[in-house]
Structure 1
Amino acid sequence: MKKSVFARAVFAGVLLLSLPTAAHAATGDDYTPGVGGSVTLAGSDVSSVCENNVPWISYSVTLTDPDNQVTERDAHLVISDASHSTTIDLGDLGDDGQLSGRVLWPGASVAGDGSANGWPGFAKIDDTWVQTSDNFAWTRGDISAKVVVNPEVEVALSYPAGNCGPAVTGAPAGVSAESTLAVTGSNASTLPFLLGGGAVLLVGAGLFVYSRRRAH
């Protein structure tokens, strides 16, 4: 009887000692390195600047990926509003997970000498710059932006402050310069008739006064 009780006690002790080891083994088998939000784009940033009347977007992308989980390392900037979206290719991240540079604002363009010759929301018609709803005009309004690699991060971005655009000398959109000229020409052509009519009225008034005096 005493031997049976002793044997049971020894068995129970061995079983209790083996439970932590089994639990640790199970935890080790199920553990996957890197899972738990270790991949991030924290620290990435973009900004806008108007340089020599050219709107630019400067960017600095930082990928933190300690376990090398990200296989596609091309970075993009996505700009959106309530109705539109456009994606700008920024390039491939370096081996250190870094990428920086600048790109033209959507709708902007430069000539061979680097001078500005295009802006979002403007069109050149007959050598005259006019405002338009095309050519990424929406990017000058209320927009949101995010940097996308495999993770993504939202960033603050807006069109450069100040007058970063052409000198608008044309008629407003929807009003042609020809119609404005037509009105001006019409006024000029009626001027002789107005002068002639005024002269007739003066002569008539003079005759009326003269006849009144003779009557008295």
Structure 2
Amino acid sequence: MRHTVRAAGAAALLLASVGVAPSVASATPAADPAADCTPAVDEYGAPLPCEVRVEVLSPVCDADVPKLRYALTVVGAARDTVDVTWVNPDGEDVVQADQPLSGTVPWPGAVVDAGGRPVDWPGWRLEGGTWVQGDEYDWVRPEVTVRFDVNPAATVTVAYPPSSPVCLTAPPRSDVLAAGAEPGVGPGDGAGERSEVLAATGAQVAVLAAGAAGLVALGMGAVALRRRRQG
């Protein structure tokens, strides 16, 4: 009888231990996106929400280099720097870490020499002295997604800045550069496209001048003919 009681007690103890044992396949809670945020407090001591506001966002061309100008307002986070992440939809992102909360960063794929002059542009490559489209930075044009990480983060989509007669965000035409560039002037100085613009402007001026001279000649002939008739 004692053996039966002991066996029953051991079985009950075993069942009880199984009932309180934790499950191995337990769910893991999702990470808090603002876990690293150190919230500030207002004048009443209440914590402020973590928030990033993009106040200025402007693609610009600066000395023939494509850049992104930005300004952020951060609420609730103690950080005074931002990680600018260019989101690559098909590969590795480009991260420009520890940037100020307002400033200018170069476009991914834009390369300058020691003097700050551009020598490469995103979406272009140099083959045999000729610029052709297509390189590892094709994904940053014509537009790209940019994320400003201060924890929290703000995500925006920006367009690649276009070229103008005074600032180039793409390489000049190689044939124009070879014919019209001054010695020592690199492709980043835009000599090719700008000389083409100046040549076109000069041609237009020459045509206008020739037309004006013709009109003057016609006017003088008409005056002379009238005087003869009056005589």
TM-score by length of 2: 0.47
Aligned mates of 1:132, 1:158 — CA distance in 2: 18
Q: Is the 8 A contact 1:46 1:156 kept in 2?
A: no
Q: Is the 8 A contact 1:47 1:156 kept in 2?
A: no
1:165 aligns with 2:178: no
Superposition deviation, residue 101 in structure 1 = 1.5
Please list every run of at least 4 consecutive aligned residues from structure 1 whose deviation after the TM superposition is greater than 6 angstroms: none
Q: Is the 8 A contact 2:54 2:154 kept in 1?
A: no
After the TM superposition, which residues 1-216 of structure 1 pair with which residues of structure 2 at under 5 Å, given as runs?
33-34=46-47, 38-65=49-76, 70=77, 73-80=80-87, 82-84=89-91, 86-91=93-98, 99-134=101-136, 136-162=137-163, 164-169=169-174
Aligned mates of 1:81, 1:106 — CA distance in 2: 11
Superposition deviation, residue 139 in structure 1 = 0.2
Aligned mates of 2:46, 2:65 — CA distance in 1: 46
- After superposition, the C-alpha distances for 1:68-102 in whole angstroms (9 at most, x for unaligned) are xx455541122225424523325255xxxxx2111
Aligned mates of 1:130, 1:73 — CA distance in 2: 41
Query: Could you say if the C-alpha distance between residues 122 and 133 of structure 1 is closer, same or farther in structure 2, counting changes exceeding 3 Å?
Result: same
Range with greater deviation from structure 2 (145-154 or 45-54): 45-54
Superposition deviation, residue 150 in structure 1 = 0.6
Query: Could you say if the C-alpha distance between residues 86 and 127 of structure 1 is closer, same or farther in structure 2, counting changes exceeding 3 Å?
Result: same
Aligned mates of 1:43, 1:139 — CA distance in 2: 20
User: Which secondary structure state, in structure 1, belongs to the residue aligned with residue 139 of structure 2?
Assistant: helix
**Unaligned ranges ≥5, structure 1:** 1-31, 94-98, 171-216
Aligned mates of 1:83, 1:41 — CA distance in 2: 26
Aligned mates of 2:99, 2:89 — CA distance in 1: 29
Superposition deviation, residue 120 in structure 1 = 0.5
Q: Is the 8 A contact 1:57 1:103 kept in 2?
A: yes
Aligned mates of 1:123, 1:63 — CA distance in 2: 39
- RMSD of the alignment, in Å? 2.7
- After superposition, the C-alpha distances for 1:123-147 in whole angstroms (9 at most, x for unaligned) are 122332222232x121013422221
Aligned mates of 1:166, 1:140 — CA distance in 2: 14
Q: Give the aligned partner of residue 194 of structure 2.
A: none
Aligned mates of 1:85, 1:77 — CA distance in 2: 14
Q: Is the 8 A contact 2:109 2:121 kept in 1?
A: yes
RCO higher in structure (CA 8 A, sep ≥6): 1
Query: Could you say if the C-alpha distance between residues 140 and 127 of structure 1 is closer, same or farther in structure 2, counting changes exceeding 3 Å?
Result: same
**Unaligned ranges ≥5, structure 2:** 1-44, 176-231
Query: Could you say if the C-alpha distance between residues 83 and 141 of structure 1 is closer, same or farther in structure 2, counting changes exceeding 3 Å?
Result: farther
Query: Could you say if the C-alpha distance between residues 85 and 144 of structure 1 is closer, same or farther in structure 2, counting changes exceeding 3 Å?
Result: farther
Q: Is the 8 A contact 1:79 1:85 kept in 2?
A: no
Aligned mates of 2:109, 2:130 — CA distance in 1: 17
Aligned mates of 2:83, 2:122 — CA distance in 1: 20
Q: Identity percentage over the alignment?
A: 26
